[in-house]
Structures are given as C-alpha cells and as structure tokens.
Amino acid sequence: MYEILRDCPAPAKLNLFLHIVGRRPNGYHELQTVFQLIDWADTLHFERRDDGQIVHTNPLPGVPPETDLTVRAARLLQERCGVRFGVDIGIEKRLPAGGGIGGGSSDAATTLLALNRMWQLDLPRETLQALALKLGADVPFFVFGRNAFAEGLGEELHAVDLPQRHFLVVNPRVHVATNKIFTDPLLTRDTKIVTMAFFLEHANKNVFETDEIFRNDMQAVVTREYAEVAAVIDWFRTFTTARMTGSGASVFGVFDTKADAEAACKRLPERWMGQVTTSLAEHPMFAFA
C-alpha cells in the first residue's frame, strides 16, 4: 500500500501549432493542435489520509482550495471509485498560471495518476482520461502521457513521435483572459483542416518557420490585446522564430542546442520570465496508468 508519494512531476506542454477549425452549436471551438511535453514541471507530494479528507496543504494565493484543480481531481476520483481514503496534497509551483503551458491541467493529471496508484485503483488510462475531461480540455492529454496530435476540443488524441528539441519559453508576466480571446469577433475560426500525416511530413523540419501552414490562430488576437506578448515575439526575432503556446501568454522559440537557448536566455529583459527546456518523449509518470 502506497501511503506517501513524493516528488511527482507535473510537466508543462507546448502547442507546436494551434488551429481553430470550427465552432460547435454550444459555442465550444473545434481545434487541431500538437501537444509537446517539456521538462519544465511543478512537483507534487501526496500523503494518504485515513479520514477521507482531501486537503491542499499549501494553496495558491487567491485560489480557494475547493476550486484548485488538484483538489477537484482527487474528489472526482474518490467519488467515482467510492474510496474511503483521503489525501494531503502539496505543490511546489514553478509553472506560471495562465501561461498557456498547462500548469493547472498538468497538476490535475498528476493527481489522478498518483492517486490511481496510492489508492490502488488500477484504473486503465482510458478511464482516467474520461474523468480528466470533466476537469478541463487539456487534462486528458497529460493523462495520455505521450506527445500527441489532438482534435475535437483537444481530447481526441493520437500519439506522435517527435524529434528532440530545445526550447526557450518566455512568459511576459501578464495573464491572458482566455474567454476574452475565444469570444473576440476577429478570431480565426475556419482554418483548413490538416491531417496528422501532413503534419508528420513536416515534423522533422522546422515547422516553426511555416506559419502559412502551422501557426497559433489565437496569436493575432492576443498580440493585439497584450502588447507585452507582442514584444516577446519581436525580441525572439534576434535569435529564432517564435510562436505563442496555447492561449498565451507564454512564447517559445526552438534552438539547435541547449547552449544556444541558454545564451539567448541570458539576454532576456529582467521584466520577463525565461526557462530553457528540452522536449520529453513521454510523461515521467506514464507507468502509473
């Protein structure tokens, strides 16, 4: 019986591209994207409780524990499986909130994976992914645990093998209001659908220089509304092509070597946050489901 699980990573993701290809009658947007796992991560710690309580031991400022995605994930799993145990959850938070890199979603997925083992539930990955979708569109990807070509709301996942790459991820310390971007009348919502095979033809090339095919459809709206995001993209032009990930505000550039990314990071303006990262082939906790 696992009573304590410490140092459980919750890695970030990048969207190598993000296309909005349609809109459903309920207002939700149909997407195509490729999710790339990277080695920048929060770290979570879990200790089993015998009283059934779900306790966040170090809640984030301004985030009530009951609304935290890790607490919601634990409660969802507890209720779904009729678990009598509870858990203390602690988080070493490194990933910026609202940065488009999936920090909260990844924390939730790591919680599902860790508790699946701690509570000895042995739920298959597909069941955990279905539960994860109740928590947010990006959470199933982190449970899926492989780099993926994604469609639908982002939950239709197909594993893809991607070359190892080194990135510099820059966050300009602004929070992008996702709902505002999705409801903007100028947001592109009719990008031509691409096939996974077409993406894979370009996957070993520099897809970051083919914005006429692969781009982030939200970037034009975000950069118009948030000058600091636009400034980051302009700053990157000295070194490499850059693209916004997710709904922003983080921007990433790809580099030939980690040393090149580190050299660029040293020239980053102090008002921004920068992190040199390397791609991952799979989630560090892939074996937990």
The CATH number covering residue 47 comes to 3.30.230.10
pLDDT value at residue 1:
66
The answer to the question of residue 190 being in a domain is yes
247 appears as a binding residue in the annotation: no
* The pLDDT value given to residue 180: 87
Contacts 24+ apart (CB under 8 A), 53-56: 53/86, 54/78, 54/86, 54/87, 54/89, 55/86, 55/87, 55/88, 55/89, 56/89, 56/90, 56/91
Task: Please tell me whether 154 is known to bind a ligand.
Answer: no
For residues 140 and 256, membership in a common domain is answered with no
105 is an annotated ligand-binding site residue: yes
The per-residue pLDDT for 178 is 84
Among 159, 184, 201, the domain-final residue is 159
State the residue range of the domain holding 52.
4-159
d(CA 235, CA 267): 10
Per-residue pLDDT of the chain (289 residues; tens, 9 = 90+): 689 999 999 999 999 999 999 988 887 889 999 999 999 999 999 999 999 999 999 988 888 888 999 999 999 999 999 999 999 999 999 999 889 999 999 999 999 999 999 999 999 999 999 999 999 999 999 999 999 999 998 889 999 999 999 999 999 999 898 888 888 898 999 999 999 999 988 877 766 776 778 999 999 999 999 999 999 999 999 999 899 999 989 999 999 999 999 999 999 999 999 999 999 999 999 999 9
Question: Of the candidates 101, 136, 159, which is a domain's last residue?
Answer: 159
Question: Is 192 among the residues known to form the active site?
Answer: no
CA 63, CA 65: separation in Å to the nearest integer? 6
Q: What total of structural domains would you count in the chain?
A: 2
Note the pLDDT of residue 203: 75
Q: Can you give the CATH number for the domain in which 207 is found? A: 3.30.70.890
Identified catalytic residue from 7, 13, 107, 234:
13
Residue 288 CA to residue 113 CA, distance in Å, equals 6
**Is 122 one of the annotated active-site residues of the chain?**
no
Q: Do residues 95 and 189 both lie within one domain? A: no
Q: Write out the two tokens for 68.
A: 């935290």
Is 22 annotated as belonging to a binding site? no
**Does 227 share its domain with 273?**
yes
Is residue 208 assigned to a domain? yes
The token pair that represents 33 in the structure block: 């994207």
Partners of 150 in the β-ladder:
33, 157
The answer to whether 99 is annotated as binding is yes
Catalytic residue among 42, 68, 107, 138: 138
Residue 62: its pLDDT value, please? 84
